[in-house]
Amino acid sequence: MSFRLIDLSQEIFTGAPVWPGHPETKVTVVDTHEETLKSGRFEDNYSFTAEKIEMSTHGTTHVDSISHIDPRPGAASIEKIPLDWFYTEAICIDLSHIPPKTYYTVEMIKGALEKHKLKIKKGDTVLLHSGHYVRTWGTPAWLTDYPGLSREAAEWIHDQGAINIGQDAPSHDCSQTKSYPAHQVCREKQTLNTENLGDLRPVVGKNDFALSVFPSRFGTEAGHRSAPWPYWKMQTRNSLLREVRQEMIPWGKTERAPLIPTLRVKFPRKPGSHCSPDFNKGGSRS
């Protein structure tokens, strides 16, 4: 294999931290091998196990659809956003030295780019490594203490050509805001943002990777919100983009890839039970 895959997402499990007001995440076993073996439905010792996942479309790692932040008629729901917006070249800038609850300035962003000789190109995804996931995952501070973009910094990043901005925190806005200027900029410029990323240390300071965040195929009733994209891939630049395009097939009036992202779910072992988090592993995943 001529490339490496790196999962930058958070795990889906019962009790995973969610934005205040969003429904909690539950992963429940609904069928076990023992139950299906005894059911009488099958022959030759066949059995299976199955689970049910209940979660917000904004639970764990996800990308906001434009219609999530834009109330105007015609704002693009998730199934109407061009698929190539979800497979882009990317860079990851290091802002982990910035204190919690800070608003990133344009000067901070420029300094972080200069540190690793990075440049934002048209169509890029820009990942912000705040270090917040590694420092606070599994603690109350996860939902309250993260830094984020000022309006000016968000505008500047998108003006350089970025189509998507993501951070290893519940939002790319600062936790102290009540007006969400970075989200407001996404609304105005009709661009994307990615929330609840996991450990970004494997890609920090790098610009030689492609980021895949293909959406799940939700119906239009969920289209005003984001779909979860919990499986992220880091790939060195080669012929991968061409190969992915060759796999694309017609789907309705648009081209959509016949790909469903792998959900990294921690499943409980007993029927009717819920899995619980193992926060001891919080910052070590890559």
**CA 221 – CA 223 distance, rounded (Å):** 6
Residue type, 92: C
Does 282 reside within a domain? Answer: no
* Structural domain count, the chain: 1
Q: What is the pLDDT of residue 257?
A: 29
SS3 content of the chain, % helix, strand, coil (to 5): 25, 20, 55
Q: What is the pLDDT of residue 256?
A: 30
Q: CB-based burial of residue 111 (10 Å sphere; 0-12 exposed, 13-18 middle, 19+ buried)?
A: middle
Q: What is the pLDDT of residue 285?
A: 31
Residue 78 near residue 218, CB atoms below 8 Å: yes
Per-residue pLDDT of the chain (286 residues; tens, 9 = 90+): 577 889 999 999 999 999 888 999 999 999 999 999 999 999 999 999 999 999 988 888 999 999 999 999 999 988 889 999 999 999 999 999 999 999 999 999 999 999 999 999 999 999 999 999 999 999 999 999 999 999 999 999 999 999 999 999 999 999 999 999 999 999 999 999 999 999 999 999 998 899 998 887 766 555 444 443 433 333 333 333 333 333 332 333 333 322 333 345 554 545 454 444 333 333 333 3
Does 267 reside within a domain? Answer: no
Q: Residue 197 belongs to a domain with what CATH number?
A: 3.50.30.50
Does 246 reside within a domain? Answer: yes
Distances 228 to 130, 132, 148 between C-alpha atoms, Å:
21, 20, 21
**CA 93 – CA 200 distance, rounded (Å):** 10
Give the domain range for residue 89: 62-256
Does 275 reside within a domain? Answer: no
User: Side by side, which strands form the sheet with 209-212?
Assistant: 62-63, 192-195, 164-167, 125-129, 87-94, 209-212, 234-236
Residue type, 252: G
Cα 213 from chain centre: 7
Q: What is the value of pTM for the model shown?
A: 0.79
Distances 85 to 30, 54, 60, 269 between C-alpha atoms, Å:
36, 27, 20, 37
Distances 121 to 90, 91, 152, 158, 256 between C-alpha atoms, Å:
9, 9, 18, 10, 24
Does 7 reside within a domain? Answer: no
Does 204 reside within a domain? Answer: yes
DSSP for residue 226:
P
Does 180 reside within a domain? Answer: yes
| H helix count then E strand count, the chain | 7, 13
DSSP for residue 43:
S
Does 1 reside within a domain? Answer: no
Q: What is the pLDDT of residue 222?
A: 54
180: left (phi over 0), alpha (psi -120 to 50) or beta: left
